[in-house]
């Protein structure tokens, strides 16, 4: 065997386990494994989890705070200022900022990621041309999917549809849009599905975002998913409006979403920051109730979305900290709910973006993170710095933290 991890605690299982890895794959898990390995990693009773899967992030607009004006902090300002900044993006500039996120993410334990890449008449194909080479360059550390993304609308931006098709032809993995910024959101949704069918690719929408009075677009997406036979191939980010539904309405739409095989991602860092700006007191949270949706059979995840831009000024790309945030916002209070919360950043997030079998079992890829924690609750509680990251059986990152106290 190539790598043996000894005395590891695993999510959802009691006792300690040895894990044998060969040719990038987990080949055995047992309380005590015989045989030597080229490398042995003694977990000493610490927790090993599946690699973190950041199912929704924007590499092309990370780290923009030093070049934008921010006064109101509103969504409208974020959209406008980011569009202004986008005009000066170059391939080298996008790659520099994207590398910073990718390398941090790998060190934190992210072994798979879906990044949206903006394509529109302003940025043209610069974003996709910048990120396509990084998909290969960083394959040693993470599996990167690129979702071609119309942030500015489609029907209101002549030429966008042709550019989206060109970006898919260049090698985009997934096609998506933000229908809420389009004056004809239903047509926007249909165009995205048309391109998905043309290229036989999965769909990813930024949907039912904000807290205005516009009707839910989720029923439209459900109908198109069923009509085109795209069950299991549609992922939706934000879905903040679901937080405003009463339990009966939520149960009905969650059941229909599950039946259509549509996944939902909560993006708490952005949504807590952006939602309910008109509330003068007792401010609503506006985060998709991922745990309730999961109870109705919806595949759910939690993801980063943005790193230090006007949509999300705070954060460092550590998905484990998003679990901490989600668990707090959704008031998850049992060990079982914490394990589910972690699954939303690992196994379930992977399933949401079309990566099956991302759990710790023989036959699966050895994408793992050893954390300085002895339980999932502790891992989510503290997001420990000390981590060892394994991608396809190879140690790709190790982080530690040195603290020194000078007592008098
Ligand atoms: Zn997003």
d(CA 110, CA 188): 32
Residue 181 near residue 217 (C-beta atoms within 8 A) = no
CB count within 10 Å of CB 121 equals: 12
d(CA 206, CA 238): 6
Spacing, Cα 34 to ligand 1 middle (Å): 46
Q: In the chain, which residues have pLDDT < 50?
A: none
All domains of the chain, ordered by start, with CATH?
3-50+360-399 (2.30.40.10), 52-352 (3.20.20.140)
Spacing, Cα 47 to ligand 1 middle (Å): 30
Residue 211 near residue 241 (C-beta atoms within 8 A) = yes
Q: Which residues contact 279 (CB under 8 A, 6 or more apart)?
A: none
Spacing, Cα 57 to ligand 1 middle (Å): 6
Spacing, Cα 1 to ligand 1 middle (Å): 40
Spacing, Cα 44 to ligand 1 middle (Å): 38
Spacing, Cα 288 to ligand 1 middle (Å): 14
Residue 249 near residue 218 (C-beta atoms within 8 A) = no
Enumerate the H helices of 73-150 as residue ranges. Answer: 75-86, 91-108, 126-137
Task: State residue 370's pLDDT score.
Answer: 98
d(CA 17, CA 399): 23
Spacing, Cα 204 to ligand 1 middle (Å): 10
């Amino acid at each position: 065997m190539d790598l043996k991890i000894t005395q590891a605690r695993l999510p959802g299982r009691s006792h300690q386990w040895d894990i044998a890895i060969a040719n990038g794959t987990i080949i055995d898990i047992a309380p005590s494994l015989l045989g030597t390995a080229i490398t042995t990693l003694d977990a000493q009773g610490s927790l090993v989890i599946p690699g973190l899967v950041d199912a929704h992030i924007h590499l092309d607009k990370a780290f923009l705070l030093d070049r934008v004006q921010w006064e109101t902090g509103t969504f409208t300002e974020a959209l406008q200022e980011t569009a202004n900044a986008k005009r000066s993006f170059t391939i080298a500039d996008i790659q520099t900022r994207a590398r910073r996120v990718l390398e941090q993410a790998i060190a934190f334990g992210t072994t798979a990621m879906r990044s949206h890449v903006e394509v529109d008449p302003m940025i043209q194909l610069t974003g996709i041309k910048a990120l396509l080479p990084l998909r290969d360059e960083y394959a040693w550390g993470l599996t990167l999917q690129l979702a071609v993304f119309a942030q500015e609308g489609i029907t209101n931006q002549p030429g966008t549809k042709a550019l989206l098709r060109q970006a898919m032809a260049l090698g985009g993995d997934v096609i998506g849009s933000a229908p809420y910024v389009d004056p004809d959101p239903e047509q926007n949704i249909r165009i995205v599905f048309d391109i998905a069918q043309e290229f036989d690719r999965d769909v990813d929408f930024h949907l039912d975002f904000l807290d205005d009075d516009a009707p839910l677009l989720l029923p439209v997406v459900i109908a198109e998913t069923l009509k085109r036979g795209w069950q299991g191939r549609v992922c939706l980010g934000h879905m903040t409006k679901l937080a405003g539904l009463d339990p009966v309405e939520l149960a009905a739409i969650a059941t229909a979403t599950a039946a259509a095989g549509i996944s939902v991602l909560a993006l708490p860092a952005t949504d807590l920051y952006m939602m309910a700006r008109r509330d003068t007191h007792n401010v609503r949270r506006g985060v998709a109730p991922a745990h309730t949706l999961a109870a109705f059979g919806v595949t759910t995840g939690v993801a980063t979305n943005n790193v230090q831009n006007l949509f999300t000024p705070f954060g460092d790309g550590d998905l484990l900290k998003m679990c901490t945030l989600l668990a707090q916002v959704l008031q998850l209070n049992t060990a079982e709910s914490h394990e589910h919360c972690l699954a939303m950043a690992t196994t379930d997030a992977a399933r949401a973006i079309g990566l099956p079998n991302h759990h710790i079992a023989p036959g699966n890829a050895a994408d793992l993170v050893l954390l300085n924690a002895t339980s999932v609750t502790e891992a989510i509680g503290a997001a420990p710095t000390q981590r060892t990251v394994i991608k396809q059986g190879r140690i790709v990152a190790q982080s530690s933290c040195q603290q020194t106290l000078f007592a008098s």
